Chain A
């Protein structure tokens, strides 16, 4: 299946505003109606402030989902259980209970919580292994969520609402469909497992015969990394649906190429869409290193919602984070550009448009169908992110607001 990373036309990546929209093409005729698609985004752990890179991922995912769902049945993977058992979440909870015991999180904002997350990574003190294991067992068994992450999810839920994001289950935490033994058995059946536990070693995902680097999934102490949780959810879910799209941060590309191959061996038609992180003033950074403090979501809200209103905010954010920042990590974040996107959004919303016409929208989306089996958000955003948009393209606005 073609890879959207290469299939995306160069034109769609040109600086927005300086290009014309792609010339209209004939709508592809689906020889057979496409079957359902499972969209599996690399989710954000609820341990930190949403940074522009996270916002970009959420907005891309939202437009991709809403547009693709018009043409084929589309479902998300949404289950926090795997994410919460990951060391970066459970380890952070252990850290807080050790160094901030008795803290009340109810009134804390993202900046405070994000600063503790940076502090946790700077402390470089590995969480006590026994304690970490007991936290992970409790999360796995009961779906327990630490108050700090309940607070983060509460804040994020308000952002989702404000942005009009489709929420497949921000709070959903359900038992993972495969246990560890079941996953290892499935990977063995896929001839993709290297298990050195008999030697006191770890467990590895092995597609080295295809030239992919060996990847550890369980360390010699028996502790699994995020791939273990992800696969316990993803492998059965993708098998049940039959087709999957993996959406992830560029820096995880090696892992996601591996996941794509594993799912492919399991008979799942799989494609990938990688997004570059948004460079801030210090370049591309992980949240754990800080540097995001001046770009938290509440600043966007304070700066734009009162003056532009909620609908223009939703549209302006989508135009900027999709067409303005583009797929790769090449364009640094710039408030002046976001200001212009908001003004552009306000103008678009003032343009006269007819009643919503699902047939016209469907035909428009079919023209921007990616051969990889989804509607590429940047191609839609580019239609709106031009000086004089074609009035016919205003039919896309419900997907962007």
Chain B
């Protein structure tokens, strides 16, 4: 990627880090960035993965969080654990804040006090082998438009990553866009598995920029949200 594009990505990342009070230089040095306050982490439990259903569930989960909690979680970079488990088996012991209609994925909000979620002791972190190939069918409708909603597109460049890493980028982008008010459950949302996204465009309303998994000194645009003009 050109230096100009890299500068743009740096600027976008710097802006996101600043919202959590973290310095860009520290983040680029590879330190595990920690924002102040209790360590908040949401939990996603999944036994299967359907991209459209996952994105729609993520948007609904993030939209339902109490405002104080979502603001604090945002400052903590919307940290999330992805665990392998069957939500239906766990429902008698654990309360979920949201679940996908087919019961394959369920979400638990961060504990406001920063306590470790006890469900993590019972389950295992998601670990997969090989690239996730998120979706190869082109544009994927995640949720329909409801009255008052807009039409948005979420473009991702994660197909070369294992699923657990791809979900990190997808999840941060979707949750943070919801918390920033740039995406909601009433919006029609299409998902595009694009390969390289290229340079940031002015039309992007939210982005996910992070160190490139393949070239750790470079930054990569893993995902972007933009409004689609239906006119």
Interface of A toward B, CB cutoff 8 Å:
194, 196, 198-202, 204, 206, 208-209, 211-214, 216, 220-221
Residue ID in chain B nearest A196 by CB atoms: B84
Q: Is B47 an interface residue (CB 8 A)?
A: yes
A201-B85 contact, Cβ under 8 Å, with A196-B47, A208-B90, A209-B90: no
Q: Is B196 an interface residue (CB 8 A)?
A: no
Nearest CB of B to A211, in Å: 7
Question: Dominant SS at the A interface?
Answer: loop
Interface of B toward A, CB cutoff 8 Å:
47-49, 84-86, 89-90, 92-93, 121-124, 126-130, 132, 162-163
Are B48 and A208 in touch, CB under 8 angstroms? no
Residue ID in chain B nearest A222 by CB atoms: B129
Nearest CB of A to B189, in Å: 22
Nearest CB of B to A79, in Å: 29
Interface hub of B49, B129, B162 (most chain A Cβ within 10 A):
B129
Nearest CB of B to A95, in Å: 23
Of A204, A208, A212, A220, which is within 8 A of B129 by CB? A220
Nearest CB of B to A152, in Å: 33
Are B85 and A214 in touch, CB under 8 angstroms? yes
Report the Cα distance A214→B120, complex, angstroms.
Answer: 10
Nearest CB of A to B41, in Å: 18
Are A201 and B128 in touch, CB under 8 angstroms? yes
Nearest CB of B to A40, in Å: 26
Residue ID in chain A nearest B94 by CB atoms: A208
Of B47, B48, B123, B128, which is within 8 A of A220 by CB? B128
Of A200, A204, A208, A211, which is within 8 A of B163 by CB? A200
Are B85 and A208 in touch, CB under 8 angstroms? yes
Q: Which residues of B contact A209 (CB under 8 A)?
A: 89-90, 92-93
Q: Which residues of A contact B162 (CB under 8 A)?
A: 200
Nearest CB of B to A204, in Å: 6
Are B85 and A194 in touch, CB under 8 angstroms? yes
Q: Which residues of B contact A198 (CB under 8 A)?
A: 48
Nearest CB of B to A224, in Å: 14
Are B129 and A214 in touch, CB under 8 angstroms? no
Are B130 and A211 in touch, CB under 8 angstroms? no
Q: Which residues of B contact A199 (CB under 8 A)?
A: 48-49, 128, 163
Report the Cα distance A266→B205, complex, angstroms.
Answer: 55
What are 19 A-B pairs with beta-carbon distances under 8 A? Answer: A194-B47, A199-B49, A199-B128, A200-B130, A200-B162, A200-B163, A201-B127, A201-B129, A204-B84, A206-B85, A206-B89, A208-B85, A208-B90, A208-B122, A209-B90, A209-B92, A213-B122, A214-B122, A214-B123
Of all A-B residue pairs in the complex, the 3 with the closest CB atoms, nearest first, are A200-B128, A220-B129, A209-B89
Report the Cα distance A220→B49, complex, angstroms.
Answer: 15
Report the Cα distance A216→B84, complex, angstroms.
Answer: 10
Residue ID in chain B nearest A198 by CB atoms: B48
Are B132 and A201 in touch, CB under 8 angstroms? no
Report the Cα distance A206→B45, complex, angstroms.
Answer: 14
- Apart from A200-B130, A200-B132, A213-B123: 5 A-B pairs, beta carbons within 8 A: A194-B84, A196-B48, A196-B84, A201-B128, A211-B93
